[in-house]
């Protein structure tokens, strides 16, 4: 990400204030890196024919065996896990084939986030290519999470003969039972945890159900939807060999699979690594009008390759914005759009929601930081809870990410409806804490909770917030063990001298992507450098030039304009080497995560 895109970086901003550069953080080499000598790492690199830094990155992330490294370097679609043992897969395929054969009208309902919208887009547009009549719908924030009775009734009134749900449905027993009582079959496509009582769906495709033999459990719903589309194509091709050449190719939908996977914070390992790597290639071709227009509005140059950063920081926040504030319908319509003109009008609407979302986010983060500054216990917390009346439930999750960035602690941000007393919040992880497991330890205080290791959501009675604050803190401390109450370690991939960072090195690092949850982006230690130039961008970001000996490199520290640093200061930092591209010209730029006085 470069300076021109700084305003699209959607980690939260707080109220501007002066922050002194503090002591160096607690740092350590990532993973098993300390167990290997430089000679051993070079020998492995020679065996693989790759740059040694790639071996270091794989070893630090748990990919140590030679054959595992070989396969990791070449993720291929043909190596994806087969869906043969995916519970519910065969009956779902049979239902969809029946719908196509009998001319059924098929309704689909998706959740309001990027995963729900992409899952709905994948399956509705794929089925339309097969000639199936579709009634697509997505959730609204007012209607709450999941597939409720209202959407079920609306689809029934629309005359559908089959209902699919995307990124929801596993826990939505009432709506599914209501449809079943009216002889409307249902297929649930989901990836959330399965409750003790199975949902009354005709077919449930969720890798987390107990009898599912599918080996990879990290798929998001868009990934499950891709498997379903591919399975349907294979079944039709087998039954109708003469139609094979005219059937849609599911690989054309991999751009949406990549979007859903990255934006839903799924681990970028195993099948997900294969799917996202292939999906980024499709995204870079810019075939889909809605995606092409979003990239243009995010000022991603037409010739630039799309990477996981563009998805997580630029496209995802835009597509999530309508569903954070109301209905996700504009995002669904944008991804389903078929022409540039249609996409332009819809993208303008999505962009308007994104501007509103950003303003609300900045206000919530500023207010949350004020509340935390007033609490003397904040610096000693292992897990942070902060709440206030009338914070928008759709914004608290990204606000939590902003608090995590400031305090490096798992954080739960809660908005309270003063009229009903209901409190709804979202948590984001830090320091390796499993926030869903931490919330499970607090389940006696909650009405409902769900999510995964990196992000989770809750609802509760507002009167329980003080007790939750203490119990969440204890639950996070228990996971941290001896590190509770101290600054968490900052893992890094070794010390990297400025003179060794060039575009060749960056190109080698890029070849190992995608990076993200489960396969952390590279992060290096600069123990000491001199600031030779600096300027503030948009009153929020700090652009610097750092020097070591005779070598200089440009750097940018997002949302750190308030740090007190000047020319001539000696600083240390943790950073990611990156490529800054503008009008066809590339230059080295360091993205600074942490900075301190050396």
What is the reported pLDDT for 18? 40
What is the reported pLDDT for 405? 83
- Which class is domain 81-348? alpha beta
Residues 530-555 have pLDDT tens digits of: 999 999 998 889 999 999 999 999 99
What is the reported pLDDT for 58? 98
Residues 567-587 have pLDDT tens digits of: 999 999 999 999 988 877 899
Among 511, 545, 514, 548, smallest CA distance to 531 is for 545
Please say if the pLDDT value at position 490 is more than 70: yes
CATH of region 375-483? 3.10.310.30
What is the reported pLDDT for 455? 87
Please say if the pLDDT value at position 273 is more than 70: yes
How would DSSP label each residue in 262-278? HHTT---SHHHHHHHHH
Please say if the pLDDT value at position 10 is more than 70: no
How many C-beta atoms surround the C-beta of residue 7 within 10 A? 14
pLDDT band at 12; cut points 50, 70, 90: very low
What is the reported pLDDT for 1? 43
The average pLDDT across 423-442 equals 93
pLDDT band at 486; cut points 50, 70, 90: confident
Per CATH, domain 3-56+493-597 is 1.20.1090.10: no
Q: Domain segments of the chain: what residues?
A: 3-56+493-597, 81-348, 375-483
Percentage, residues of the chain above pLDDT 70 = 96
What is the 3-class SS of 31-78, one letter each residue?
CCHHHCCHHHHHHHHHHHCCCHHHHHHHHHCCCCCHHHHHHHHCCCHH
The average pLDDT across 292-319 equals 94
Please say if the pLDDT value at position 419 is more than 70: yes
The average pLDDT across 67-88 equals 95
Please say if the pLDDT value at position 21 is more than 90: no
Token pair belonging to 461 = 């009675």
> Across the chain, what does the average pLDDT equal?
92
What is the 3-class SS of 345-401, one letter each residue?
HHHHHHHHHHHHHHHHHHHHHHHHHHHHHHCCCHHHCCCEEEEEECCCCCCHHHHHH
What is the reported pLDDT for 499? 97
Q: How far apart are CA 184 and CA 147, in angstroms?
A: 15
104 burial class (0-12, 13-18, 19+ CB within 10 angstroms)?
middle
Higher pLDDT, residue 147 or 143: 147
What is the reported pLDDT for 5? 45
The average pLDDT across 421-445 equals 93
Contact 58, 32 (CB under 8 A): no
What is the reported pLDDT for 22? 65
Contact 593, 574 (CB under 8 A): yes
The average pLDDT across 317-338 equals 96
Higher pLDDT, residue 327 or 483: 327
What is the reported pLDDT for 347? 97
Residues 210-223 have pLDDT tens digits of: 999 999 999 999 99
What is the reported pLDDT for 107? 98
The average pLDDT across 84-96 equals 97
Residues 221-253 have pLDDT tens digits of: 999 999 999 999 999 999 999 999 999 999 999
Please say if the pLDDT value at position 11 is more than 50: no
Contact 258, 275 (CB under 8 A): yes
Residues 23-58 have pLDDT tens digits of: 788 899 999 999 999 999 999 999 999 999 999 999
Q: How far apart are CA 150 and CA 444, in angstroms?
A: 29
Residues 187-215 have pLDDT tens digits of: 999 998 888 899 999 999 999 999 999 99
The average pLDDT across 100-123 equals 97
Contact 560, 541 (CB under 8 A): yes
Q: How far apart are CA 397 and CA 413, in angstroms?
A: 7
Please say if the pLDDT value at position 451 is more than 90: no
Q: Which of these ranges, 153-157, 384-388, 517-521, 559-563, has the smallest mean pLDDT?
A: 559-563
Q: Which of these ranges, 144-148, 278-282, 336-340, has the smallest mean pLDDT?
A: 144-148
């Amino acid at each position: 990400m470069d300076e021109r895109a700084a305003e699209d970086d959607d980690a939260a901003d707080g109220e501007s204030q002066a922050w002194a550069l503090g002591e160096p953080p607690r740092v350590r080499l990532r993973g098993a890196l300390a167990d290997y000598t430089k000679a051993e790492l070079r020998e492995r690199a020679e065996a693989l024919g790759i740059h040694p830094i790639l071996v270091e990155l794989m070893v630090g992330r748990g990919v140590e065996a030679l054959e595992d490294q070989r396969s990791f370097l070449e993720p291929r679609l043909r190596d994806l896990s087969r869906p043969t043992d995916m519970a519910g897969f065969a009956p779902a395929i049979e239902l969809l084939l029946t719908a196509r054969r009998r001319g059924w009208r098929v309704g689909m309902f998706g959740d309001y986030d990027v995963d729900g919208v992409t899952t709905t887009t994948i399956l509705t547009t794929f089925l339309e290519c097969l000639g199936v009549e579709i009634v697509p719908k997505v959730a609204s924030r007012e209607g709450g999470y999941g597939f409720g009775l209202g959407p079920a009734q609306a689809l029934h009134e629309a005359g559908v003969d089959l209902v699919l749900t995307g990124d929801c449905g596993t826990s939505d027993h009432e709506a599914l039972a209501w449809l079943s009582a009216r002889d409307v079959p249902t297929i649930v496509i989901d990836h959330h945890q399965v409750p003790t009582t199975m949902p009354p769906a005709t077919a449930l495709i969720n890798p987390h159900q107990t009898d599912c033999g599918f080996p990879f459990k990290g798929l998001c719903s868009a990934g499950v939807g891709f498997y379903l589309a591919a399975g349907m194509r294979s079944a039709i091709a087998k039954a109708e060999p003469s139609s094979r050449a005219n059937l849609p190719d599911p690989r054309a939908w991999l751009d949406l699979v990549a979007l859903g996977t990255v934006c839903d914070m799924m681990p970028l390992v195993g099948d997900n690594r294969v799917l996202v790597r292939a999906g980024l290639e499709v995204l870079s071709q810019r075939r889909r009008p809605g995606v092409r227009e979003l990239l243009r509005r995010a000022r991603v140059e037409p010739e630039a390759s799309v990477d996981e950063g563009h998805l997580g920081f630029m496209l995802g926040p835009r597509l999530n914005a309508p569903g954070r504030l109301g209905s996700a319908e504009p995002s669904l319509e944008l991804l389903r759009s078929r022409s540039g003109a249609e996409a332009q009008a819809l993208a303008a609407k999505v962009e308007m929601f994104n501007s509103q979302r950003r303003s609300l986010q900045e206000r919530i983060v500023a207010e949350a930081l004020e509340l935390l500054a007033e609490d003397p216990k904040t610096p000693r917390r292992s897990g942070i809870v902060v709440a206030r009346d009338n914070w928008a439930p759709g914004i608290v999750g990204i606000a939590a990410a902003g608090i995590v960035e400031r305090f490096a602690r798992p954080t739960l941000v809660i908005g309270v409806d003063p009229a009903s007393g209901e409190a709804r919040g979202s948590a984001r992880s830090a320091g390796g804490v499993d926030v869903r497991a931490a919330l499970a330890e607090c389940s006696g205080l909650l009405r409902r909770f769900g999510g995964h290791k990196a992000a989770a959501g809750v609802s509760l009675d507002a009167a329980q917030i003080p007790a939750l604050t203490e119990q969440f803190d204890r639950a996070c401390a228990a996971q941290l063990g001896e590190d509770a109450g101290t600054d968490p370690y900052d893992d890094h991939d070794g010390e990297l001298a400025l003179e060794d960072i060039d575009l060749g090195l960056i190109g080698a690092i890029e070849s190992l992507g995608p990076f993200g949850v489960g396969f952390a982006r590279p992060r290096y230690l600069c123990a000491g450098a001199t600031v030779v130039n600096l300027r503030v961008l948009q009153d929020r970001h700090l652009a610097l030039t750092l020097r070591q000996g005779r070598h200089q490199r440009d750097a940018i520290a997002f949302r750190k304009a308030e740090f007190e640093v000047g020319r001539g200061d000696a600083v240390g930092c943790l950073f990611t080497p990156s490529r800054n591209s503008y009008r066809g010209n590339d230059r080295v730029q360091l993205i600074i995560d942490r900075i301190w006085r050396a």
